[in-house]
Structure 1
Amino acid sequence: MDEARRASLHVIGHNDAFRTFCDAIASGRLHHAWLLTGPEGIGKMPLAFRMGRRLLNAEDPNGSAGRLVTAGSHPDLLAVGRAFDEKRQRFRGEIVADDIRPINSFMHRTAAEGGWRVVLIDTAEAMNRNAANALLKILEEPPPRAILILTSAMPGALLPTIRSRVRKLAIAPLGESDVRAVLRQNVPDAEPSEIERVVPLAEGSPGRAMSLLADKNGAIGNIAREAVRGMPIGRILDAAETLARAGETGFALFFTLLGTALADAARTVAAQSTARGVRLAEAWQQIAEIRARAENFNLDKQEAIIEALTAAGEAGSF
């Protein structure tokens, strides 16, 4: 969240989406809830903070309101997301009802600055059923001059009743020049050759590009593509051991790149073999579920990688 707060002062790209929001403010008919949708890592949360800054007159980084937003202490801005688990040293897999309930009292209190109260919910699809129901009650009776801005890479995972009560704003992936600009801004020490290697692979996602920079020489990506072609069991075990040593970042990047490799393979074979394309698409969903289980329930990462490598190989050689 802190990184998104700071990035909201210099958001690169997404100008059309921000203009749409500003036009809604100017019209005097600003919807009480917005849902920013788009792939992971494209900058939805920095944009959400930028939208909040506009409403709170906090766009000047040197102004008192701007400094409060950057510091995370503005009294009229509440940001909610997956809580950090101090014991496990990672973010929890779900947003729970206790994370959502404070929103109601926050939105109904008098704004400290006499203006708007702004609530941001990051990765809204991570809400469990109880959290989603708690949010739905808030959406059903929104108070005046209070706004909710949600972000989601998987809006289809939200309750239909939530989706029906928000204004959807599709956020497009960035162009390659903008991805380069984000990388130069956030990773100034990155080698130019590495930036040029990852930008075409990032699919418009600076977040993904920064993860790819951590995959020196594309080693994890090579394993992902090899997995789709099929690996013997010995190679699967060796690859899983290597990937497990890469830690949480390597684990997340592997599953992202494996999903991409499966999607690329499905597109390639779709015109030749509908059955094989379907099988690859099903494997993509299966692997997403393997990752979610491992992260939500703190399961053995190496076992999850072995399961994913096996599923990818079975689908690819179908």
Structure 2
Amino acid sequence: MNDPDSLEGIPAPEVRQESLGHEEARDAVAAQLQAGRLPGAIMLHGPQGIGKATLAFELAALILTTTGDEATGRVQEQVAALSHPNLAVLRRRPKDSKSFYSAIRVEDVRELRESLHRTRGRVGHRIAIIDSIDDCNGPSANALLKTLEEPPSDTTFFLVSHRPGGLLPTIKSRCHVLALRPISIRQVAEVITVTTPNVSPALLERAGDLAKGRPRRAFEMLALGEESPVGVLIEWLKHPGMHPIAAEIALADQLGKDPQSADMSFARELLSDWIAAEMRQAALEQGGRARLASATDLWDKVHALFEEADSVNLDMKQTLIVIFDSIRAHCALSAVPEPL
């Protein structure tokens, strides 16, 4: 149990070591490696689930092979097993046999820093992957900053971030920043078929459409099954104002039964994506200020409601009903076709 964000049956990033897309970022690091000018820290940022961690491990294997004295296959095997002596990985640690800590702790960062200042285990460059830097709390982020300010020699940090806007500016300033974008629908389909080759064409197409360039989301959708209420939510979001209230309540009841379920997690992402799409559409629309203001208020309200429900364990069904009503009211105020 190494990765707190792992999906059952899906190879972890360190095992896969082969990302699709992201050619510009990959080529940039490869060029720096060949020129002998690897930065002390590289931040890979972009939406969650597009392959940032996979790219980090792919580049780690490349750097360890190029600067070391072992064959590519041998290095890749050690990276996959997280056993290469010149590779360190920092993630949220297991709390017990079934759960992980909610954050990367300051003692975890200090342990990493101490290990990097010991005599290296093998010839060549050293790599430290932080997956993800967003999981650091205040004390651990400050401890990591001290390490980045005085990095060990011949060491490169890869910082994976889904939300770089929430990071300390001083951490970002210490990194060579590479922005990664969602990959193409064709590439998402290729990732899926390599791992789950028996997916039906219809289900593959649906997963690719919903993924929006994020293979992780496609895998999550496939894991839900055809009877998932998420499918009902997808149809509801196409025209929120055209469904009866009873259907809305029934949907909230189905999704809200288990706030920790995969269905609910996926539903939250879908709702966030819908509002974000509405904000983008309103921003591009001539005379769309009122619609944008309404969508922005909706974004703040929905996320505040979810945070409150999480923090004080409120009834998720009631939270969803309020959210659905708010979306319906926004669409009525906008008086324009809904996105998606």
Give the percent of matched residue pairs that are identical in Structure 1 and Structure 2: 30
Distance of 2:102 and 2:332 partners within structure 1: 32
SS in structure 2 of the partner of residue 101 of structure 1: helix
Shift of the 286–21 alpha-carbon distance from structure 1 to 2, 3 Å rule, reads farther
Shift of the 314–61 alpha-carbon distance from structure 1 to 2, 3 Å rule, reads farther
Which of 139, 156, 159 does residue 165 from structure 2 map onto?
156
Alignment pair present for 1:274 and 2:282: no
Q: Within 5 Å, which residues of 2 pair with 1:221-260?
A: 221-223=231-233, 226=236, 229=240, 235-245=247-257, 247-260=260-273
Q: Within 5 Å, which residues of 2 pair with 1:18-29?
A: 18-29=26-37
User: Does the Cα contact within 8 Å between 1:220 and 1:254 map onto a contact in 2?
Assistant: yes
SS in structure 2 of the partner of residue 150 of structure 1: strand
Per-residue CA shift, 1:239-273, capped at 9, x if unaligned? 22211346531121101111122223334444253
**Structure 1 residue 209: deviation in Å?**
1.6
Counterpart of 2:338? none
SS in structure 2 of the partner of residue 56 of structure 1: helix
Per-residue CA shift, 1:75-130, capped at 9, x if unaligned? 2211112334437x454443222232212112211210122221111121222111
Per-residue CA shift, 1:194-241, capped at 9, x if unaligned? 111221332211111222223445841542563683577755543222
Deviates more, 1:290-299 or 1:302-311: 290-299
Structure 1: stretches of 5+ with no match in the other structure? none
Alignment pair present for 1:82 and 2:97: no
User: Does the Cα contact within 8 Å between 2:224 and 2:262 map onto a contact in 1?
Assistant: no
Question: Which amino acid in structure 2 is aligned with residue 210 of structure 1?
Answer: F
Given the two structures, how large is their TM-score scaled by the length of structure 2?
A: 0.81
Counterpart of 1:207? 216
Which of 46, 49, 57 does residue 54 from structure 2 map onto?
46
Counterpart of 1:264? 277
Q: How many residues matched?
A: 315
Shift of the 181–94 alpha-carbon distance from structure 1 to 2, 3 Å rule, reads same
Shift of the 204–254 alpha-carbon distance from structure 1 to 2, 3 Å rule, reads same
Q: Within 5 Å, which residues of 2 pair with 1:96-135?
A: 96-135=105-144
Deviates more, 1:153-162 or 1:72-81: 72-81
Counterpart of 2:83? 73
Counterpart of 2:298? 283
Distance of 2:77 and 2:312 partners within structure 1: 38
Question: Which amino acid in structure 1 is aligned with residue 222 of structure 2?
Answer: L
Shift of the 188–77 alpha-carbon distance from structure 1 to 2, 3 Å rule, reads same
Structure 2: stretches of 5+ with no match in the other structure? 4-10, 334-340
SS in structure 2 of the partner of residue 74 of structure 1: coil
User: Does the Cα contact within 8 Å between 1:280 and 1:315 map onto a contact in 2?
Assistant: yes
SS in structure 2 of the partner of residue 120 of structure 1: strand
SS in structure 1 of the partner of residue 158 of structure 2: strand
**Bigger CA radius of gyration:** 2
Question: Which amino acid in structure 1 is aligned with residue 253 of structure 2?
Answer: E
User: Does the Cα contact within 8 Å between 2:279 and 2:295 map onto a contact in 1?
Assistant: yes
Given the two structures, how large is their TM-score scaled by the length of structure 1?
A: 0.86
Distance of 2:201 and 2:123 partners within structure 1: 48
Counterpart of 1:11? 19
User: Does the Cα contact within 8 Å between 2:256 and 2:315 map onto a contact in 1?
Assistant: no
**Structure 1 residue 147: deviation in Å?**
1.4
Distance of 2:311 and 2:60 partners within structure 1: 30
Question: Which amino acid in structure 2 is aligned with residue 111 of structure 1?
Answer: R
Question: Which amino acid in structure 2 is aligned with residue 253 of structure 1?
Answer: F
User: Does the Cα contact within 8 Å between 1:290 and 1:304 map onto a contact in 2?
Assistant: yes
Distance of 2:78 and 2:313 partners within structure 1: 35
SS in structure 2 of the partner of residue 226 of structure 1: helix
Shift of the 219–165 alpha-carbon distance from structure 1 to 2, 3 Å rule, reads same
Deviates more, 1:118-127 or 1:40-49: 118-127
Distance of 2:314 and 2:84 partners within structure 1: 38
Counterpart of 1:168? 177
